[in-house]
Amino acid sequence: IPEENKIIGYTTRNSGGVPENFKNYFVIEFDKPFTYKGTFADKKLEEGNLEQKADHTGAIIGFSTRKGEIVHARIASSFINFEQAAQNLKELGNDSFEQLAQKGNDAWNNVLGKIEVEGGNLDQYRTFYSCLYRSLLFPRKFYEFTADGQPIHYSPYNGQVLPGYMYTDTGFWDTFRCLFPFLNLMYPSVNKEIQEGLINTYKESGFFPEWASPGHRGCMIGNNSASVLVDAYMKGVKVDDVKTLYEGLIHGTENVHPEVSSTGRLGYQYYNKLGYVPYDVKINENTARTLEYAYDDWCIYQLAKALNRPKKEIELFAKRAMNYRNVFDKESKLMRGRNENGQFQSPFSPLKWGDAFTEGNSWHYSWSVFHDPQGLIDLMGGKKMFITMLDSVFAVPPVFDDSYYGQVIHEIREMTVMNMGNYAHGNQPIQHMIYLYNYAGQPWKAQYWLRQVMDRMYTPGPDGYCGDEDNGQTSAWYVFSALGFYPVCPGTDEYVIGAPLFKKATLHFENGNNLVIDAQNNSKENLYIESLRVNGQESTRNYLKHADLLQGGTIEFKMGSHPNLNRGINDDDAPYSFSKMK
């Protein structure tokens, strides 16, 4: 207790992911002097003692107050030092509690007001804006400002205080799918800071993060920082140091973090040599890794092309992007574990959760060919069989094999409770699957099932989510889907069309343009797209372009109660697939 009306302190309590010198400093200033001062160390109280250091400490203060008098405490924290905490406290200025509360209210209204929806019911509004709110909670700022307004951060990777941006508390295995594409569309200035922070992470640790909390954490799989970085770059959210960006991406394809196996690429030696991570080399979730590495390689291929890298380099990643084919089993028409000798793992249960896959089974993960649905269609035997396989996800009852885990994990229980066959929307791997109907000429099935998911699996109540929120991914899925489109393949400039939930939505972009999504005859019954006009021009395409959206204008959906079996059925109407580009 250094002054009459102040308490300062720090805590080192944490759950990992921090260097040895981690401290969270705080300062609390009161608007009334203390009449009582005491501290305790562990369980021993010492009146009059103004400083303690122990495993568990605290300060106790008292005031002389009139009945009903309010004492205000102004609080700030810092990961740098006490002086920086005091500097951060200045952000509050001289505002009163009520003024600060109003500023917080105004700030959220401004952020949430970037999208205005109309023509729904109260529960739909509550669900939509709750999802939008939750989409914007992560990742969290981990940087602070100096007295002259420059960003500075304590590095959770090397324990130094360094200039520049830093964000944390996000897992890319979840959020690459649509949370980061959503930021690129609606809040690119924020994602520019996040991207610069990712460059700092690589400079400070030698790796891009895959799961940051606040430093590298051993959680989940994949090398999906490639998706997050490349999607931003391809959509114009570009970091200043592109050379380091590309260098870091290449480094991640040939290394794994020495202490955190989920950072970099576990099994890269096998993957780069064989074209897949084998099932029998004691690397868990191997088939899931193969599928995600192949997509991540396609992302690197996209950036290599954009940067005019050497032809040999571009061709290498183009080849690796097709590695998903190496774990496709023609017999079951599903993805399957494959041994180092080339033979498929046996016996094979498509309903077995975990093992070769991550928090899901083969029915969930077989669709993880984000960059090449046409290639997957070809592997499965054509559009008709592909549609049959998509339909089967809903037709197969919600049965499961939990032998790998030895118990019913919550993701399994959530799938069974929601009772939509083996469609497990409560976890991320399958969340793009419904949109794949658009690639095979039956977009009306996507429109039907998307409305089913929005109506049945999201509510404004306390049980309003059907599974893991996971840093905003499950919320961002709803926001995109309610608007009527979704980024199936981050790294492309396309959004795959679903069907809007509201009669009208207005998007206010940072560039000053506004986009109106108009579906005036939308209703619970009218959930199918009869026709689509983009700025007055009729379109049969099952996708929208990023640049076209940012130009603003109007997208008009004419909705009906029956599927239009003649719209979006031609090959040219299908969204991007890598196989079609080659």
DSSP, res 216: B
What are the residues whose beta carbons fall under 8 Å from the beta carbon of 2, sequence distance 6 or more? 8, 50
Cα–Cα distance, 283 to 218 (Å, whole number): 14
> First vs last Cα of the chain: how many Å apart?
69
Cα–Cα distance, 267 to 251 (Å, whole number): 14
Answer yes or no: are the C-beta atoms of 327 and 291 closer than 8 Å.
yes
Distances (CA, A) of 571 to 249, 480, 545: 33, 24, 17
pLDDT value of residue 581: 84
Q: Which helix (H) or strand (E) holds 376?
A: helix 373-380
Q: Which amino acid, residue 287? A: T
pLDDT digits (tens, 9 = 90+) for 407-450: 999 999 999 999 999 999 999 999 999 999 999 999 999 999 99
Is a pLDDT exceeding 90 seen at residue 137? yes
Average pLDDT score over the chain: 97
* Average of per-residue pLDDT across 394-404: 95
- Maximum distance among all Cα pairs of the chain, rounded to whole angstroms: 82
pLDDT digits (tens, 9 = 90+) for 472-505: 999 999 999 999 999 999 999 999 999 999 999 9
DSSP strand pairing (504-508 vs 528-534): unpaired
Is a pLDDT exceeding 90 seen at residue 146? yes
What are the residues whose beta carbons fall under 8 Å from the beta carbon of 185, sequence distance 6 or more? 235, 509, 546, 549, 550
pLDDT-derived band at 194, boundaries 50, 70, 90? very high
pLDDT digits (tens, 9 = 90+) for 257-311: 999 999 999 999 999 999 999 999 999 999 999 999 999 999 999 999 999 999 9
For the full predicted model, state whether its pTM sits above 0.95. Answer: yes
What is the tally of helices (H) and strands (E) in the chain?
19, 24
* Average of per-residue pLDDT across 398-410: 95
pLDDT-derived band at 468, boundaries 50, 70, 90? confident
Phi-psi region of 536 (alpha: psi -120 to 50; beta: other; left: phi over 0): left
Three-class secondary structure of residue 37 per DSSP: strand
DSSP 96-120: -HHHHHHHHHHHHHHHHTTEEEESS
pLDDT digits (tens, 9 = 90+) for 453-462: 999 999 999 8
- b/e map of 103-125 (b: 16 or more CB within 10 Å)? eeeeeeeeeeeebebebbeeebe
How many percent of the chain have pLDDT more than 90? Answer: 97
pLDDT digits (tens, 9 = 90+) for 70-123: 999 999 999 999 999 999 999 999 999 999 999 999 999 999 999 999 999 999
pLDDT-derived band at 327, boundaries 50, 70, 90? very high
pLDDT value of residue 3: 83
Angle between helix axes 242-253 and 286-306 (nearest 10 degrees) is: 150
Distances (CA, A) of 208 to 21, 51, 151, 192: 22, 40, 20, 16
Is a pLDDT exceeding 80 seen at residue 533? yes
Quickly count: other Cβ atoms within 10 Å of residue 206's Cβ: 18
Cα–Cα distance, 80 to 23 (Å, whole number): 8
* Of 464 and 155, the one with more pLDDT: 155
Q: How far is CA 99 from the centre of its chain?
A: 33
Is a pLDDT exceeding 90 seen at residue 582? no
Least confident of 21-25, 48-52, 254-258, 367-371: 48-52
Q: Which helix (H) or strand (E) holds 554?
A: strand 553-560
pLDDT value of residue 486: 98
Answer yes or no: are the C-beta atoms of 467 and 427 closer than 8 Å.
yes
